[in-house]
Amino acid sequence: MDSDVKAELKKLSSAQLCSSVLGQICMDTVVNPPKKGEPSYELFMKEKEQVLSSLKEKAKLVTELLNKIEGVKCNPVQGAIKIYFFNIQKLPLRLNATIKS
């Protein structure tokens, strides 16, 4: 393959690794949110609280559902992003029988 063609193909393929303009704008908003007094601050804070509240409710629901499973204890982690830690309290009898055989 001609070296100039190969260089152009490499340039084209590496351009796909970059996020889109919209993605870059979103990331800029995440790392540099509007400050108090700026025109979009109130809307940003309202939307942020709605998203975090929704995530909190979903995390609560998932925790409750997982805790209904026999032998599983799910402890929610405090914070905006919920991660679940599972603590096996006891193994169901059928699983114990399978492990022993």
The verdict on residue 37 lying in a domain is yes
The DSSP element (H or E) to which 18 belongs, if any, is none
Per-residue pLDDT at 42: 95
Taking Cα atoms as reference points, which of 76, 56, 57 lies closest to residue 66? Answer: 76
Does the pLDDT at position 45 exceed 90?
yes
The verdict on residue 93 lying in a domain is no
Does the pLDDT at position 92 exceed 70?
no
Distance CA 57, CA 7 (A): 50
Per-residue pLDDT at 1: 84
The verdict on residue 38 lying in a domain is yes
Per-residue pLDDT at 56: 83
What percent of the chain stands above pLDDT 70?
A: 80
The verdict on residue 16 lying in a domain is no
Task: Supply 21's token pair.
Answer: 């303009």
Distances (CA, A) of 1 to 4, 9, 10: 9, 11, 12
Q: Is the pTM of this model over 0.75?
A: no
The verdict on residue 8 lying in a domain is no
Taking Cα atoms as reference points, which of 48, 27, 45, 23 lies closest to residue 35? Answer: 45
Does the pLDDT at position 57 exceed 70?
yes
Q: Which domain holds residue 70?
A: 26-88
Q: Can you tell me the mean pLDDT for 40-59? A: 89
The verdict on residue 6 lying in a domain is no
Please tell me the total count of domains within the chain.
1
For residues 32 and 41, the answer to whether their CB atoms sit within 8 Å is no
The verdict on residue 71 lying in a domain is yes
